[in-house]
Amino acid sequence: MKQNNYQGALQQPLQSGFSATSTASQVIRGINLSGKTAIVTGGNAGIGLETVKTLAAAGAAVIVPARDIDKARKHLGDIPNVTLEAVDFMQPASIDAFAEKFLASGQPLHILVNNAGIMWVPLRRDSRGIESQLATNYLGQFHLTARLWPALKKAQGARVINVSSFGHQMAPFHFEDPNFTERAYETLQGYGQSKTASNLFAVELDNRGKTFGVRAYSLHPGSINGTELGREANVEMFHQMGMCDAEGNIYPEVAAKLKTIPQGAATTVWCATSPLLNQIGGVYCENADIAELDHGQINHQYDDPATIRGVREYSLDETNAKRLWNWSEEVTGISFHIS
């Protein structure tokens, strides 16, 4: 019996009964989260907000770390069971302060959704010199999960969900120059390696954490209409992909194929709650199911979101996963020992 997902050993769709059109409320139907605690980063907008609403409606107490509390409060309104906390994921000390406060409460953490992310931004670096997409999309996940590990273990049955992307196919992790200090900055490469790192982290965390009842997953939410994720992206990139005209207007035939926000949050919620995953972890998911391993047999066309699927083996590679874990400990200064 295969015990981990290194090299995509477990990347076989389960025939979950859901699809690209399934919504977050549909995949959680019949599941009661009363007595459970969840943390959802980036939970004040887009699919993160939909995830928060869905988990809270199912009975979970949901904590939303947000950089701009006032903005988050406007978006979240008065949703029952939701608490806001100030956190800036570009500032390591801010992550530490949030985690310390949560651990001091003595609560177990049943669901951690690492949803916060940015996409296709100009070159920026955090206080450590880490490229911003890598810092936000991956190192923030690693840092927060490591600090919250005691609470995850205390739950005696927890799940960590990394919101990754098909964008991992744009680049493997560049161990020699992850922060573009020696090579020219390409935002697509930066985004791609950050999402590859998110996948590698999930497969390694699951392998190390399952003994303690902590399972981990990564996922592609889909091509979604109406989020703020691409707000800084160059319109020309979307135009070259055949998704919009030169002015940035999405072609109607493409827009008709994009997911709604409730559909975009479905895979996150499915990974966080589906009984089908009780005995399996470390997998990369999409469309509320485990994704197919992509060996190059899938014809990807950006103007047809249905073809934007599959996971590359390099983002599930055992050697890469262990090497990334060690690199992450070194860069963050955190010894993330699973025990």
pLDDT of 240 strictly over 60: no
Q: What's the confidence (pLDDT) of residue 234?
A: 57
Q: Known catalytic residues?
A: 191
Partners of 217 in beta bridges: 161
Cα–Cα distance measured from residue 294 to residue 287, given in angstroms and rounded to the nearest whole number = 15
Cα–Cα distance measured from residue 12 to residue 201, given in angstroms and rounded to the nearest whole number = 19
SS3 84: strand
Q: What's the confidence (pLDDT) of residue 154?
A: 98
pLDDT of 292 strictly over 80: yes
CATH architecture of structural domain 6-329: 3-Layer(aba) Sandwich (3.40)
Q: What's the confidence (pLDDT) of residue 247?
A: 59
Q: What is the pTM of this model?
A: 0.93
Mean pLDDT of 242-261: 68
Structure tokens of 281?
Answer: 């972890």
Mean pLDDT of 225-244: 56
Q: What's the confidence (pLDDT) of residue 19?
A: 97
Label residue 118 left, alpha or beta by phi (over 0 means left) and psi (-120 to 50 means alpha): beta
Q: What's the confidence (pLDDT) of residue 279?
A: 96
Closest CA to 36 of 113, 112, 111, 148: 111
Cα–Cα distance measured from residue 220 to residue 216, given in angstroms and rounded to the nearest whole number = 14
Sequence-distant (≥ 6) Cβ neighbours of residue 281 within 8 angstroms = 5, 206, 210, 215, 216, 217
Cβ–Cβ under 8 Å, residues 217 and 198: no
* Amino acid at the residue 62: V
In sequence order, what DSSP letters do the residues of 114-134 get, joined into one string?
E-----SPPP-B-TTS-BHHH
Q: What's the confidence (pLDDT) of residue 120?
A: 82
Q: What's the confidence (pLDDT) of residue 303?
A: 75
Torsion of CA 187, 220, 212, 62, to 10 degrees: 90
3-state DSSP helix/strand/coil percent for the chain, to nearest 5?
Answer: 40, 15, 45
Q: Where are the domains of the chain?
A: 6-329
How many residues does the structure list for the chain?
339
Higher-confidence position of 170 and 245:
170
* Amino acid at the residue 89: F
Cα–Cα distance measured from residue 144 to residue 96, given in angstroms and rounded to the nearest whole number = 8
Q: What's the confidence (pLDDT) of residue 252?
A: 60
Structure tokens of 303?
Answer: 């103007």
Per-residue pLDDT tens digits for 27-81: 999 999 999 999 999 999 999 999 999 999 999 999 999 988 998 999 998 899 9
pLDDT of 133 strictly over 80: yes
Q: What's the confidence (pLDDT) of residue 225?
A: 77
Other CB atoms within 10 A of residue 57 CB: 16
The rounded percent of the chain whose pLDDT value lies above 70 is 90
* Amino acid at the residue 309: R
Per-residue pLDDT tens digits for 171-191: 999 999 999 999 999 999 999
Partners of 85 in beta bridges: 65
